[in-house]
Amino acid sequence: MNGFVFGKIFGIKLELHSSFILLFGLMAVFLAIFQPDDFIPTMILLFFLFLSVLLHELMHSVVAIRLGAKVKKIILLPIGGLSMTEEIPKSPRAEFLISIAGPLLNFAIVFLLLIAVSAFPQLPFPNYLFEKTPTVEEVETAVSAFPLFGLLWVNLLLGMFNLFVPALPMDGGRVLRSILAKFLGFAKATHIAAKISKIIAIFFVIMGLLGGNLILAIIGIFVFMGAGQENEIVSIKEIFENQNIEPVINPKPLVIDGEKNLFEVFDIMKQQNKTNFLVKLEHGFGILNAQDLFQVKKIDWMNVFAKNICRKVHSIPKESLASDVAAKFLAKEYSMIPITENHQLIGVIEAESLQNFLEIKKIEKQ
């Protein structure tokens, strides 16, 4: 799912995830039709949620940049955000500081709001909530009746949820991993943190389904998959440590010219009995497979060329490490990556052969 890029700050692209846009849209339509009285307060609340998630993510990014990372993009989701960081600092201290910064900003907003409303009693704020333990209904009413309280509530929930649930890939999980990593090393810490995360995720799904809380169940699935992926990346790094890629290079890949039309491409496919090609473009390379051919109707094959439908792929120098290549395969669904030496193509690495290589190395290390 793609989102909507709405701005850029400190060189970081800001993107609103489509689930957030969907939430805004569906809520707006639903409320306008069925509960017009709640329309404005709910929209204000969603706007506060958006603003708070944005500030939370920016805080992570600012700290990350100060510690030497490059942040390319922030994606905002209703339950938090994702910072797309290049070269994440590996020290436990850096991860701890970056992870804790986001939730701490939410708590700082809560704290400032509390100071503001006690300094200015004329501000509209449900002070009666603090006189005795409020009921759930009282809090819910106050959230939509008092925008300042809504802002406080959103930040309190974001801060607590992100920091106090020790599950990867959430902030709390990263804090836990960084503390474990200080004593056990990064790989072992990740394995333990991922196990804990999966237990929490299963608990979320069960609680969500039993309690009829669909959002909690979805978060559980998201945590489960995210934790699995973190663990996978670390395991691969561990197995491929300092391993060069030369053993997995296929020196005779099938390369076709980008100027060939799809009939010519299909002929080559038949002759060679292969469905996965590297496409030579004017600048760089692309990948083309059988699936891409299915996307174009046969009547149009004469006028569509390999260069029009292939997916661009960046080449990698021969000296690269296997762990970096694996990370590239994991990040994007490539079927192969071209390998160069002195900017000349010398072969490709196919996802499948890297997978085989990984399994062989796993057996070796067992």
Smallest separation (angstroms) from Zn ion to the CB of 100:
9
Shorter beta-carbon distance to Zn ion: residue 95 or 171: 171
**Active-site choice (57, 95, 230, 350):** 57
**Residue in 28, 258, 298, 38 with CA at minimum distance from that of residue 144:** 38
Asked if 171 interacts with Zn ion (CB under 5 A), we say: yes
Region from 99-107, 147-155, 296-304, 322-330 binding Zn ion, contact rule CB under 5 A: 99-107
Cα–Cα distance, 118 to 102 (Å, whole number):
25
Q: Is 359 marked active-site? A: no
**Cβ-based nearer residue to Zn ion, 81 or 338:** 81
Taking the least distance from each CB to Zn ion, the nearer of 162 and 323 is 162
Other Cβ atoms within 10 Å of 226 Cβ, number: 19
Burial degree of 75 (CB within 10 A; 0-12, 13-18, 19+): buried
95 in contact with Zn ion (CB under 5 A)? no
Identify the sign of the CA torsion 286, 290, 296, 298: positive
Partners of residue 287 on adjacent β-strands:
278, 311
Q: How far is the C-alpha of 255 from the C-alpha of 283, rounded, in Å?
A: 14
Cβ-based nearer residue to Zn ion, 64 or 248: 64
Q: For Zn ion, what does the binding mask look like between residues 321 and 340, x meaning CB under 5 A?
A: --------------------
In whole angstroms, what is the distance from residue 137 CA to residue 139 CA?
A: 5
The answer to whether the beta carbons of residues 86 and 161 sit under 8 Å apart is no
350 binds Zn ion (CB under 5 A): no
Question: Among residue numbers 140 through 169, which ones bind Zn ion (CB under 5 A)?
Answer: 162
List Cα–Cα distances, 210 to 45, 166, 215, 217, 221, in angstroms. 27, 22, 12, 9, 15
Residue span binding Zn ion (CB under 5 A) among the ranges 13-21, 96-104, 132-140, 233-241: 96-104
Neighbouring-strand partners of residue 268: none
**Least distance to Zn ion, CB of residue 74, Å:** 10
* 102 lies in the binding site for Zn ion (CB under 5 A): yes
Tell me how crowded residue 88 is: count the other CB atoms within 10 A of its CB.
15
Quick one: tokens of 50? 């958006």
How far apart are CB 39 and Zn ion at their closest, in Å? 30
Stretch that binds Zn ion, among 64-72, 102-110, 198-206, 299-307 (CB under 5 A): 102-110
Q: Which is nearer to Zn ion, 225 or 290 (CB)?
A: 225
Binding-residue pattern over the window 195 to 234 for Zn ion, x denoting contact by CB under 5 A = ----------------------------------------
CB 167, min distance to Zn ion, A: 12
CA 115 to chain CA centroid, nearest Å: 35
Size of the site for Zn ion (CB under 5 A): 3
Q: Which stretch binds Zn ion (CB under 5 A): 29-37, 98-106, 233-241, 308-316?
A: 98-106
CA distance 77 to 243: 37
Q: How far is the CB of 6 from Zn ion (least distance, A)?
A: 19
Q: Which is nearer to Zn ion, 80 or 92 (CB)?
A: 80
Torsion of CA 138, 144, 146, 148, to 10 degrees: 110
Residues between 20 and 79 with contacts to Zn ion, criterion CB under 5 A: none
Footprint on this chain of Zn ion (rule: CB under 5 A): 102, 162, 171
Active site residue ranges? 57
